[in-house]
Amino acid sequence: MSKLRFQISMSLDGYVAGPNQSEENPLGEGGEQLHEWVIALEAWRKPHGLEGGEANASTEVVERSLENIGATVMGRNMFGGEGPWDEHPWDGWWGDDPPFHTPVFIVTHHAREPVVKQGGTTFNFVTDGIESALEQAREAAAGKDVALAGGASVAQQYLKAGLIDELQLNVVPVLLGAGARLFDDLEGVNAELECTNVLDAPGVTHLSYRVLK
Amino acid sequence: MSKLRFQISMSLDGYVAGPNQSEENPLGEGGEQLHEWVIALEAWRKPHGLEGGEANASTEVVERSLENIGATVMGRNMFGGEGPWDEHPWDGWWGDDPPFHTPVFIVTHHAREPVVKQGGTTFNFVTDGIESALEQAREAAAGKDVALAGGASVAQQYLKAGLIDELQLNVVPVLLGAGARLFDDLEGVNAELECTNVLDAPGVTHLSYRVLK
């Protein structure tokens, strides 16, 4: 069966965004440090429509994370906005040619018609929960894997439900001290994992895990 | 100058002990999983007065962590007990021949005469704060390094004060979901580190960092 794969950049002290997140500063204070390693890479810039960039030990990791992905699931906060959609709803953070290039299934409480974007990205809004979103994503992926794009809250729900198959943490050597934690609200989860790969790269350490069922 | 070195075993979700710690279960529920990798090693068993054990990729890491240590600092909880000492105070968790084999400086609010144990361990009780404890430990170490033995609370104080030079996390691939977090109460810390070594070993991944001042 196709796997649910989740990869995220995290500070050494476990934050995926800094404190005081806002619409102007969605990564929170200091949160941009978590993504410097990836923004420098050609392998990331190209699918995001950006020029230039370098290749280093992280290149292979980024390329692998994009391989064999047939659909994407994400939380509403990651798409953008909050609450019920209004008459001319916002189309989210991602612009006209979003970097997903797959059908995307957004877990939300608020129904909305699908939004078709350039480059193969279609945003679908799923109101009956994380399992339904994953099921629809798996069907759309047609045998390929499903990427969980975040954010922290929906990732916690999938982790707690035991639905994530592969977890890759890109650990950035900073302490943010506050912000949004990846591993929060997980009381009772008690999961065991197997470390499948460890790679030190400039400005980041990649830890790959398989979740043991 | 001699360095302050801190190494600790932590679950992937950032806990150094499981939930519901008690005198009978000081590691909390599930917390024993964090130490299975080290208890299996001859390099750990021998200085703790235990027979047997194996050698694997972690052996070098454990041996290195014991090398060139001239003194130890720790928090009161790690020594044992709480509140003022009574007439016949408890001598803590560590038995007649504690595994430190150095002078140990315990950060506490409650003064007490030093306690001399076998094998080179003397417990000294420091009531004027973490900086004083470190200063006394450095003097006792006579040029060697100082080990910070924990627990989480005193480690946070040293981290926040920018006094830790080397941090080694032994990351165990389990999610405990609750318990005592290593990285908590650190608002405003904003520290930058440099990853100096990464090593995957059976049941644990060792991440070594130098704290950049």
Q: Which amino acid is at A144?
A: K
Rg, chain A, Cα only = 17
- What's the rounded mean pLDDT across residues A173-197? 93
Q: What is the distance in angstroms between the Cα of A28 and the nearest Cα belonging to chain B?
A: 13
C-alpha span between B7 and B63 (Å, rounded): 12
C-alpha span between A52 and A35 (Å, rounded): 16
Contact B186 A13 (CB under 8 A): yes
Report percent pLDDT > 70 for chain B.
Answer: 100
- What's the rounded mean pLDDT across residues B74-102? 88
CB-based burial label for A157 (10 Å; 0-12, 13-18, 19+): middle
pLDDT at B62: 94
Q: Which two tokens stand for residue B78?
A: 């790690």
pLDDT of A168-180, one tens digit each?
Answer: 999 999 999 999 9
Which residues in chain A have their CB less than 8 angstroms from residue B189's CB? 13, 175-177
C-alpha span between A43 and B144 (Å, rounded): 45
pLDDT of A118-135, one tens digit each?
Answer: 999 999 999 999 999 999
Checking if the pLDDT of B131 tops 90, the result is yes
C-alpha span between B145 and B4 (Å, rounded): 6
pLDDT at A195: 96
Q: Which two tokens stand for residue B74?
A: 């720790």
Largest CA distance in chain A: 48
pLDDT at B209: 97
pLDDT at A24: 85
Which residues in chain B have their CB less than 8 angstroms from residue A12's CB? 169, 183, 193, 209
Q: Which are the contacts of A75, defined by CB distance < 8 A and separation ≥ 6? A: A106, A107, A108, A150, A151, A153, A154, A155
Which residues in chain A have their CB less than 8 angstroms from residue B30's CB? 190
Of A4-18, A74-88, B47-61, least confident by mean pLDDT is: A74-88
Q: Which two tokens stand for residue A137?
A: 């994503």
pLDDT at B26: 83
Residues of chain B in Cβ contact (below 8 Å) with chain A: 12-14, 19, 30, 159, 169, 171, 173-178, 181-183, 186-195, 197-200, 205, 207, 209
What is the average pLDDT value for chain B, to the nearest integer? 94
Chain position carrying tokens 């798409």: A79
Checking if the pLDDT of A26 tops 90, the result is no
Q: For helices A152-160 and A130-141, what crossing angle results, to 10°?
A: 90
C-alpha span between B152 and B34 (Å, rounded): 14
pLDDT class for B80, splitting at 50, 70, 90? Answer: confident
- What's the rounded mean pLDDT across residues A180-208? 94
Q: What is the distance in angstroms between the Cα of B3 and the nearest Cα belonging to chain A?
A: 19
Checking if the pLDDT of A190 tops 80, the result is no
Checking if the pLDDT of A213 tops 80, the result is no
Q: Which are the contacts of A113, defined by CB distance < 8 A and separation ≥ 6? A: A125
What is the average pLDDT value for chain A, to the nearest integer? 94
CB-based burial label for A180 (10 Å; 0-12, 13-18, 19+): buried
Q: Which are the contacts of A203, defined by CB distance < 8 A and separation ≥ 6? A: A36, A37, A40, A172, A173
pLDDT at B107: 97
Contact B190 A175 (CB under 8 A): yes
Residue B3 Ramachandran class (φ > 0 left, ψ -120 to 50 alpha, else beta): beta
The whole-model pTM stands at: 0.93
Contact A207 B205 (CB under 8 A): yes
CA B7 to chain CA centroid, Å, is 6
Report percent pLDDT > 90 for chain A.
Answer: 80
- What's the rounded mean pLDDT across residues A27-37? 95
Q: Please state the φ and ψ torsions of residue B124, each to the nearest 5 degrees.
A: -115, 140
pLDDT at B71: 98
A82 versus A185: which is more confidently predicted?
A185
pLDDT of B149-188, one tens digit each?
Answer: 988 899 999 999 999 999 999 999 999 999 999 999 999 8
Checking if the pLDDT of B67 tops 90, the result is yes
C-alpha span between B4 and B146 (Å, rounded): 5
Residues of chain A in Cβ contact (below 8 Å) with chain B: 12-14, 19, 30, 159, 169, 171, 173-178, 181-183, 186-195, 197-200, 205, 207, 209
Q: DSSP readout, A81-140?
A: --SS--SS----TT-SS-TT-SEEEEE-SS----EE-GGG-EEEEE-S-HHHHHHHHHHH
Q: What is the DSSP letter of B134?
A: H
pLDDT at B81: 80
pLDDT at A64: 93
In sequence order, what are the beta bridge partners of B126?
B107
pLDDT at B31: 95
C-alpha span between B18 and B8 (Å, rounded): 14
Checking if the pLDDT of B12 tops 80, the result is yes
pLDDT at A199: 96
